[in-house]
Structure 1
Amino acid sequence: MFTETLTRPGRLLDLLTGPHGLDRYTELVDRTWIRGQARARVVAVRRTTPRSVTLTLAPNAAFPGFRAGQHVNLSVEIDGRRRTRPYSLANAEGDARLELTVGRHEGGLVSTYLYEHARRGMVVGLDSVAGDFTLPTVAPDRILFVSGGSGITPVMSMLRTLRARGHRGQVTFVHYARCADEACYRGELTALTAAMPNLAVRHGYTRDTRGSQLPGRFGSTDLGRYDAVFACGPAALVDAVRAVYPDAESESFVPPVYAARSSGGSVVFAGSGVAVTDDGRPLLDQAEAAGLRPESGCRMGICFSCTRRKTSGTVRNLISGAVSSADAEDVQLCVSAPVGDVTLDL
């Protein structure tokens, strides 16, 4: 028996220092009892709008914490395959519980799965907390937040953090949704304005405009001047905000469209025995067009789930513009394009 094994001389030391280590055995009891990987148990599920699900998570001790506005890569197993997507955290910095509100997108594998199947007790993976869209340690006096759709989640994290800090400066929050029923956190925002007299919230509805407090799209109303502006949402909204406030901190959750620049070389997917002529698109797009199905997530260089080994050739990072010709290096397929002949272990 297990208890007998522990009482035998030397067996406990063997168990703890064996090939699997302590984590291998503790996770058999509870999948979150593991020191080497950040995981979390879902402790609450709320479906408060027809297109979103809010998860409350209890992370294990391996979770490193985050800054208001950052995102985390969440992993969940679907049909026996681990899928990873980046989601912004909505809770205040330092909270014991994490909160994610996931917008259900048409054709979105993970968002649809979570909306339909997320339940209390399920365990998810957490990895790579990142993002420069963050609230400063010392908040400016006059702040404007603008969000659209599920872009509200990092803004909620910032608002909750400001409340926890006792921020007394002027804060204006403008949120756009398709209709009132799809406006996440509407009830909480009403409560926040009562608790924070310095906070003004305005809702804009772009399809069913009943109850909208903003006419038309962003930019049609003069919102005044601010010391800092934060915008998160679809690319069109972010662009509109930056047209009015060029120095705005911004984040878009829509994958960018990259201009195709064919090198004329060949792309060889060595593990599949497939070769194609480079058409200038990211390697992920070219692999999928060739009938391959590599794992992928954000499609914008955030989640790293599409990382594969390049065994030869040169690639350009479509975000930074950096060119790399080193052999045997890992590249992100979604934001890497060939420069001449490239061979991938895929």
Structure 2
Amino acid sequence: MSAPSIDRPTTVPGARRARLGASTPGPLGGVLRGARRVAEALASPLVPADYLDLLDPMRTGADLRGRIVEVRPETADAVTVVIRPGRGWLGHVPGQYIRIGIDIDGVRHWRAYSLTHRADGSPAAGIPAGCIAITTKAIPDGKVSTHLVRSTAAGTLVMLDQATGEFTLPTPAPAKVLFLTAGSGITPVMGMLRNHLGELEDVAHVHCAPTADDVIFADELRGHAADGRLALALNLDDEHGVLHLERLDTLVPDWRERETWLCGPTGLLDAAEAHWEAAGIAERLHTERFRPTVVEPGEGGTVTFLRAGRVVEADGSTPILDAGEDAGVLMPSGCRMGICFGCVVTMRSGAVRDLRTGEVTVVEDDATLPVQTCINAVAGTCDLEL
């Protein structure tokens, strides 16, 4: 695998004009979008590849892009985004995720989302052949997820990375499987179900959501259960309370005998890891995290963003990435969980604390240090080249 690249927020010339024609249907929309591209080309210095990108942005050899063809509501605050990828798309293994780059108010933001379509490219669940799909839920203060759910229209061009991730089923698949999911944590598991359910002999699925209306893919899950293809247990907070893992003895009495794939909020993942460890079967639990596990926070301090000329106070539990974004600093970002290295910036002086391990790293003398801002908090003071 090649070394991870560093993606920085990109101010896109004319990005506010990019709405021109984006949601206009038919030939008129095409004319408006073409006019916008020509206007941007005249206003910006281009190299030969840029002209090719203007004519065919999803051509072979170009940076990987995709065109959104549909934004389909799943619940009141969740959508499935169907994307037709460019010709450089290499495919995926069910359960993997992809990074999406989308321009919002002139800045390109990258986020990681699990893929939910058929890996062989065939149509499934209303997703057209040759298209890929992600499903996202709008979260409080979630700039990209909220934009995708509330504002994104068909026709939008997005940047793509190739699929990655190890939250996948082995070959051959285990005889007995338990899927344990909560909220949008169901998305990688739905990718597995749409691709592998026919190969799995004995499947139990426990899914947690605040209410019945918040269950993403509810009809599809209930359909599989009605057909006898999986044993489904819904834990709804308003009816059953928040799931306590002791209830697994009732919901799935043989859970200790099953290989388990778990995806959901950090609290559930931490509790499950302790529960499986106490049962002496930690090796049977496979997890996917949206955010890294955070140890006890330190004292925090002051972050200075040198180029922005901004000084920000941050507590010891807040990632520098979040602190900078909250203060209006344009921060590079990617997966936001320490995997892709898309958030790396240079620290000129000071100290940071790794939120996963508690380890403090200090810049010595006149040295500089690359820092992942999504998994580090300030420890006293730190000066960043940003």
Give the one of 247, 250, 253 matched to 2:287: 250
Equivalent-residue separation in structure 1 for 2:56 and 2:210 (angstroms): 41
Asked if the contact 2:348/2:363 (under 8 Å) is kept, the reply is: no
TM-score, normalised via structure 1 length: 0.78
Partner of 2:164 in structure 1? Answer: 130
| Superposed displacement of residue 162, structure 1 | 1.1
Aligned: 1:309 with 2:357: no
Contact 2:354 2:376 in 1 (8 A): yes
Give the counterpart of 2:94 among 62, 68, 71. 68
2:375 to 317, 328, 335: 335
Amino acid at match of 1:261: G
Deviations 1:169-210 (A, max 9, x none): 211111111111111111112333456x44222222112x2x
Match of 2:5 in 1: none
Normalising by structure 2, we get a TM-score of 0.71
Once the two structures are superposed, residues 261-299 of structure 1 have per-residue CA deviations (whole angstroms, 9 ceiling, x without a partner) of: 3598x7543223456789655433554677745344654
2:247 match: 220
CA 1:283–1:98 in 2, change beyond 3 Å: closer, same or farther? same
Instruction: Give the superposition deviation at 1:85.
Output: 1.4
Confirm or deny: 8 A CA contact 1:283 1:336 kept in the other structure.
yes
| Structure-2 separation of matches of 1:116 and 1:299 | 22
User: Could you say which structure has the greater relative contact order, defined with CA pairs below 8 angstroms and 6 or more residues apart?
Assistant: 2
Aligned amino acid, residue 64 of structure 2: A
Residue 135 of structure 1 and its aligned partner are, at CA, apart by 1.8
1:81 aligns with 2:81: no
Q: CA RMSD in A?
A: 3.3
Give the letter for the 1:181 counterpart: D
Q: Closer, same or farther in 2 for the Cα pair 1:178/1:29, shift >3 Å?
A: same
SS of the equivalent of 1:129 reads coil
Aligned residues: 319
Do residues 20 (structure 1) and 47 (structure 2) align? yes
Cα shift at 1:258: 4.6
Could you give the per-residue CA deviations for residues 7-55 of structure 1, whole angstroms, max 9, x where no partner exists? xxxxxxxxxxxx834x422321233225242211112221131110111
Query: For 1:2-21, what aligned pairs fall within 5 Å after superposition?
Result: 20-21=47-48
CA distance in 1, matches of 2:207, 2:213: 13
Corresponding position of 1:94: 120
Task: Give unpaired runs (5+ residues) of structure 1.
Answer: 1-18
Identical positions, percent:
36
Q: Is the 8 A contact 2:99 2:334 kept in 1?
A: no
Structure 2 portions without partners, runs of 5+: 1-45, 122-129
Residue pair 1:219, 1:240 contacting (<8 A) in 2 also: no
Equivalent in 320, 328, 331 of residue 294 of structure 1: 331
Q: Which residue number corresponds to residue 145 of structure 1?
A: 179
Mapped partners of 1:107, 1:279: distance in 2: 18
Deviation at 1:234, TM superposition (A): 1.3
Measured at CA, do residues 78 and 303 of structure 1 come closer, stay the same or move farther in structure 2, by a change above 3 Å? farther
Distance 1:324 1:126, change over 3 A: farther
1:241 aligns to 2:272 (yes or no): yes
Moved more, 28-37 or 271-280: 271-280
Separation (CA, whole Å) in 2 of partners of 1:174 and 1:136: 20
Q: 1:271 aligns with which of 293, 307, 314?
A: 307
Given the alignment of the two structures, is residue 31 of structure 1 paired with residue 51 of structure 2, yes or no?
Answer: no
Partner of 2:18: none
Cα separation, 2, equivalents of 1:262 and 1:202: 42
